[in-house]
Chain A
Amino acid sequence: MLEGLMIGLSAAFSIQNLLMVVAGCLIGTFIGMLPGLGPMSIIAIMIPVAITIGDPSAAIILLAGVYYGAIFGGSTSSILLNAPGVAGTVATSFDGYPMARKGQAGKALTVAAIASFCGGTIGAVLLMVFAPMLSTVALLFHSAEYFALMVVGLSAIAAFAGTGNVAKAIVMTLLGLIMATVGEGALFNMPRFTMGLMDLQSGFSFITLAMAMFALPEALFLVLNPARSAQGGEGGKIENLRITREEGRKIAPVIGRQSVQGFFIGVLPGAGATIASFLGYAVERNIASKEEQEQFGKGAIKGLAAPETANNAACTGSFVPLLTLGIPGSGTTAILLGALIALNVTPGPRLMIDNPQIFWAVIVSMYIGNLVLLILNLPLIPCIAKILAIPRNYLIPFILFFTLMGSYIGQNNATELLILVGMGICATILRFADYPLAPLLIGFILGGMLEDNFSRSMQLYDGVGFIVDRPMTLGLLVIAILLVIVPSYRARRAKARAKGIADGD
């Protein structure tokens, strides 16, 4: 392993390659900030550039830099504007945006940068150590387990909602799943629920829905109630970047746990970073103390660190199946696979033997990429956070414009913009009625995969037999049910006990 590391170091530490990392991180961060352009599209855009370089190690180092930069850039738009452009950063906005509104935008960005750095770096160490072993574990997961894993993810989300809101959260999740069934599914090749409209043929787009659920209602709220923007605005201490020692102590264990958990979820091919960030958030919320649980969703530093660490660790983890099996686990790694093949490198079990310099260059570039990202971005944070200091009269039209652009660029279809406005209005009404919007989006993101895996297991087992036949599936499903039932049962018992005391007096 050490020998390999040396090969990687010698490959990565040339002037050219270091420049590649820096350039990639910068490009990724800035383009990633635009909602609507996630890592996947940015990497796709950068592929022609990477291929013209010619040297496969340099190309993949550039692309890895872009990848990390884009993930960090995506977190900034969720933190500052509540406009997550990528599914993996949706959980970041749960606590990141409230922090920014409390005037702690600088601190939130710093925590995000540090959490991403740790997640990515620890992930890279784990990748180096476990890559060969993990590829066999990833193969143990069949579609039945993926289905169960996603059900666990969804019920964990519904369980966040807290007492009194579980039914609402479940309804929203189900609505998200329903919206995901619109359009043509991969398995059946027939349009469903499109009502004959051509524009719905390919279903709703994720970006449009994310913008409509988060950014648009938020902007409308800012317009409706000017006092709201003043809450964090003028007093917004951008200088307040430092994390206190106490806060550091608080997030250190979170980062440690989530790096490992995120990495192992990321290894499973599927919705790596997204599931990892949601599960990370849910797990940390559930094991936090009672007072801290109250803080989640209102700007808890732990709630920000957990998903940020987990999604970066998972991104690193998603390289395991790519590099060892040649199976891309996510859209982004699929594009990277395409780039590698175009450069005449075939990832797979033979990669480590045939092209060790590439395998190790990737790993070393991960370390360097994370480090460069941290060094580049910490000084940039004050400038980025200044976005919030732009006068309201300018900021709000620009937020609205970027939501519109985000959904237009993806689809190049003006009808998408009308759908965006319509859904934005519905989302605002739902927010008035105190329905949580995040579960809807999560249901929508996981819906397609959930149904595909469910259908595949049904076909394999010719019925619902897979639930009983596969112990791991059954176990995961039991966990899912417990996640929903236990909190409301506990709440009911607590209430009954409280009532009992009151009666006793």
Chain B
Amino acid sequence: MTLDRWVAFVILCTALAYGYAAFFTMDGLLPPFIQRNPIWPSTFPKVLAVLTILTSLVILLGLEKGEDTDKEPDIDYRRLGDYNLTQALSLLVLMVAYALFLRPAGFLFSTFSFLALGAIVLGERKLHILLPVVAVASFVVWYLVDEVLGIFLRPWPFFI
């Protein structure tokens, strides 16, 4: 099975779960006065679930015949190992780390580390340029967002 049909399968399962919730579990808590409405909170989801199940089946069973395009894909997922997969994955890990550290470690420290480590992961080695640039950029963004626009961002770690 090709990747797009696997994806269709996953979507089908999601739609089935969603439809189950819409058809069987959601209406249990409905207060009686809403039950007299022509439309319930579950009406629209029911329609969506049915339509999604049908369309994903169309893809899964290959009913729609596409044109056979020979175009070279940007990235061939079958040869994922040939690309810079480690770099991409490390950047994703960095993003997750940033999300977890943003509050406790403060904006300036997290942003500085994220930008610096990100560039290092990508192969930047001129640290004497990188570190000052990143430090200035983190400060400028913080200054603009917090001081100028007035959207609060905690600058320092929680213990300061």
Contact B119–A394 (Cβ < 8 Å):
yes
Say yes or no: B26 contacts A225, CB within 8 Å.
no
Instruction: Known contacts A433-B4, A463-B38; decide if A167 and B59 are in contact (CB<8 Å).
Output: yes
Are A163 and B118 in contact (CB-based, < 8 A)? no
Of the listed residues A163, A167, A397, A434, the one surrounded by the most CB atoms of chain B closer than 10 A to its CB is A397
Contacts of A392 in B (CB 8 A): 122
Q: A188-B34, A393-B123, A394-B119 given as contacts; is B59 within 8 A of A171 (CB)?
A: yes
Given A168-B4, A223-B87, A459-B39, verify A397-B45 contact (CB < 8 Å). no
Partner of A401, one of B29, B64, B115, B122: B115
- Interface membership of A141, Cβ < 8 A: no
- Determine, out of A129-137, A305-313, A317-325, A450-458, the stretch whose residues face the partner at the interface: A450-458
Could you tell me the distance in whole angstroms from the C-beta of A43 to the nearest C-beta in chain B? Answer: 12
Contact digits for B76-114, partner A, Cβ 8 Å, 1 yes 0 no:
010010011101100110111011101100000001001
CA distance A166 to B2 in the complex (A): 18
Tell me whether B67 and A164 are in contact (CB under 8 A): yes
Query: Which of A163, A415, A463 gathers most chain B CB within 10 Å?
Result: A163
Bitwise interface map of B from 33 to 68 toward A, beta carbon under 8 Å scored 1, else 0: 010011101111100110110011011000111110
Q: How far is the CB of B130 from chain A (nearest CB, A)?
A: 8
Distance from B90 Cβ to chain A, minimum over Cβ atoms (Å): 9
The residue on B at minimum CB distance from A392 is: B122
Q: Assuming the A-B contacts A164-B67, A409-B151, are A432 and B55 also in contact, with contact meaning beta carbons closer than 8 angstroms in the complex?
A: no
Whether, in the assembled complex, B141 has its beta carbon less than 8 Å from a beta carbon of chain A, the answer is: yes
Q: Is B32 an interface position by the 8 A CB rule? A: no
The docked-state distance in angstroms from the alpha carbon of A404 to that of B115 is: 12
Chain A stretch 17-46: residues in CB contact (< 8 A) with chain B: 31, 37, 45
- Is B7 in contact with A429, judged by CB distance below 8 angstroms? yes
In the complex, whether B70 has a CB less than 8 A from a CB of chain A is no
B13 on interface, CB distance cutoff 8 Å = no
Q: A418 and B85: CB pair below 8 A?
A: no
Q: Which residue of A lies closest to B83 (CB)?
A: A224
Could you tell me if A417 and B99 are in contact, using CB atoms closer than 8 angstroms? yes
Contact partner of A221 (CB less than 8 A), chosen from B44, B74, B124, is: B74
B118 x A396 contact (CB < 8 A): yes
Q: Which residues of B contact A424 (CB under 8 A)?
A: 92
For chain A, give the interface size range: 35 or more
Q: List residues of chain B with CB within 8 A of the CB of A219.
A: 91
Let me know if A489 is at the binding interface, CB within 8 A: no
Contacts of B7 in A (CB 8 A): 429-430, 433, 435
**A219: nearest residue on chain B (CB-CB)?**
B91
Smallest beta-carbon distance A85→chain B, Å:
14
A165, A185, A401, A412: the one contacting B66 at CB < 8 Å is A165
Q: Which residues of B contact A482 (CB under 8 A)?
A: none
Separation of A458 and B85 alpha carbons in the complex (Å): 50
Residues of B within 8 A of A396 (CB): 91, 118, 122
A5 at the interface (CB under 8 A from B): no
> Given the complex of chains A and B, what is the CA–CA distance between A459 and B130 in angstroms?
60
B149 neighbours in A (Cβ, 8 Å): 31, 37, 45
> Are A414 and B58 neighbours in the complex by a CB distance under 8 Å?
no
How far is the CB of B159 from the nearest CB of chain A, in Å?
Answer: 18
Could you tell me if A164 and B145 are in contact, using CB atoms closer than 8 angstroms? no
List 7 interface pairs A-B (beta carbons < 8 Å), by A numbering: A178-B52, A190-B41, A223-B87, A223-B91, A414-B102, A458-B39, A459-B38
Binding site for B on A (CB under 8 A): 31, 37, 45, 163-168, 170-171, 174-175, 177-178, 181, 185, 188, 190, 192-193, 219-221, 223-226, 228, 391-394, 396-398, 400-401, 404-405, 408-409, 412, 414-415, 417-418, 420-421, 424-425, 429-430, 432-435, 451, 454-455, 458-459, 461-463, 488, 491
Q: Which 4 A-B pairs have the closest CB atoms?
A: A164-B66, A397-B118, A417-B99, A393-B124
